[in-house]
Amino acid sequence: MIKPQKPANEAERLAALQRYAILDTPPDSAFDDLTAIAGAICATPMSTVSLIDADRQWFKGRRGLETEETSRDYAFCAHAILEPSNVMVVPDARDDARFQGNPLVTGDPNIRFYAGAPLVSSDGYALGTLCVLDDQPRQLAPFQIAALQALSRQVTHLMELRRVSRELSHQLNERAWYEEQLQHYQQELEAQNADLTEQTRTDALTGLANRRAFGVALEQALLAGRQVAVAVLDIDHFKIVNDVHGHAVGDEVLSDVARVLRSASGGSGLVARYGGEEFVWLIHDRGLSDAALQCEYLRESVEHTTQTLAVTTSIGVAVARAGETAEQLFSRADQALYAAKRGGRNRVVASEE
């Protein structure tokens, strides 16, 4: 017995074989069918689609054989791939020096006849063979050899198709994964943008709407033609709170007052921190007397329910006039606030309609 040599391009050949990812895959009826057709045309009891790995011969398709693989040292196909362009025919293995004493000849399955057409990849590497075998010596007719070559090309095309299909599926799966990640990142970006938008409209200390958000809400209410009132509220003597107790306590007072304002307003309209110790309240669908009454309730709530320090507030309120701008409305409410301060603080003053 003569052990088969390895092709000069063995490393590249094995790399090509690995690209097909076919070794040790489950049985495939398409390969089995081609194997059966080859055996039927050549009238042999055994036929295989054999792939030559680094140290073994593995059968992707087989007919008449029980084993799934053999040692490469004993493989007839390992000799056949040394001449990729030719069909290797062994009429009687016992008369061929390469196979005398081969366990596959002297024992099961008792191979006497072999014919193998190499499976040549698209880049020219012999990966294995489509072969037919018999336990009796014999020859093939020219048409059978031609058919075996044609079928070997079909096996190679099938392998190529499976490879392309697998790679395409992998690419589609990767694309789906990337699209999923992109959607995830998009959702995160939108959430971050929403958070940033919220931050640009929210006062960080009190959690109330800020001056910008109040301005937008007031403009929209006026454009919609709604009856709106603006109340401007200032914490009385807040500078003393900061000077005596420090800014940390001052911040606590601001947060405390904001909590009371949010609760006392009952979710009606929009309460915002305008700046410093000044707050504003946008009141919808209320005349001046009703708006002033609500502001009085707000003032009493601050005076009696703040917890950090006992503080009071002065409030000026004005109801929008026909054709009045947001700046003009706010200015009148602000003037009413200063009137409340001049009047002794801790009171509500309504701007005349």
Sign of CA dihedral 216, 219, 225, 227: positive
Q: What torsion, rounded to 10 degrees, do the Cα atoms 281, 282, 288, 292 define? A: -20
Query: 277, 278, 327, 353: which is the annotated catalytic residue?
Result: 277
For residue 335, how many C-alpha atoms fall within 13 Å in the half-sphere facing its CB? Answer: 10
Buried b (16+ CB within 10 A) or exposed e, 212-248: ebbbebbeebbeeeeebbbbbbbbbebeebeeeeeee
User: Rounded to whole angstroms, how far apart are CA atoms 56 and 54?
Assistant: 6
Residue 27 has a CB neighbour count (10 Å cut-off) of 11
Using CA atoms, how far apart are residues 326 and 218, in angstroms rounded to an integer? 7
Alpha helices of the chain — where are they, by DSSP H? Answer: 10-19, 29-42, 76-80, 103-106, 142-201, 211-223, 238-245, 247-265, 288-305, 326-342
Is 51 in contact with 23 (CB distance < 8 Å)? yes
CA 353 to chain centroid:
59
Contact 129, 75 (CB under 8 A): no
Q: Based on the residue annotation, tell me whether 277 is a catalytic residue of this protein.
A: yes
What is d(CA 26, CA 212) in angstroms, rounded to the nearest whole number? 67
Query: Residue 284 CB: number of other CB atoms within 10 A?
Result: 15
Supply φ then ψ for residue 249, to 5 degrees. Answer: -70, -35
Catalytic site positions: 277
